[in-house]
Amino acid sequence: MSARIDGDLPRRPRFEVRFARSRDEILATQQLRYRIFAGELGAQIDGGIDHDQYDPFCEHLMVVEPDSERIVACTRILTDRMAPGAGGFYSASEFDLAMLDMLPGRMMEIGRTCVDAEFRSGAVIATLWQGIAAYITNEGYDYLFGCASIGLEDGGCSAHAILDQIRARYLAPEFQRVRPYIPLPAADRRPGDTTQARAPKMPPLLKAYLSLGARACGEAYWDRDFNCADVFMLLNVSDLQPRYARHFLGRGADTARDTTVPA
Share in percent of the chain as helix, strand, coil (round to 5):
40, 20, 40
Q: Is residue 121 included in any domain, yes or no?
A: yes
Give helix 204-212 / helix 122-139 axis angle, nearest 10°. Answer: 50
Domain containing residue 153: CATH number: 3.40.630.30
Could you tell me which residues come within 8 angstroms of residue 129 by beta carbon, excluding any fewer than 6 positions away?
A: 208, 212, 248
Number of domains in the chain: 1
Structural domain of residue 33, as residue ranges? Answer: 13-252
- How remote is the C-alpha of 21 from its chain's centroid? 20
Q: Return averaged pLDDT per consecutive 10 residues of the chain, 263 residues in all.
A: 48 87 96 92 87 97 94 97 97 97 95 92 88 90 96 92 96 96 84 58 90 94 93 90 58 37 31
Q: Residue 24: how many CB atoms within 10 A of its CB?
A: 8
**pLDDT of 193:** 55
196, part of any domain: yes
Q: Which pLDDT score is estimated for 261?
A: 32
Confirm whether 257 is domain-assigned: no
pLDDT for res 260 = 35
User: For residue 46, how many other CB atoms are within 10 A of its CB?
Assistant: 8
- 132: enclosing H helix or E strand: helix 122-139
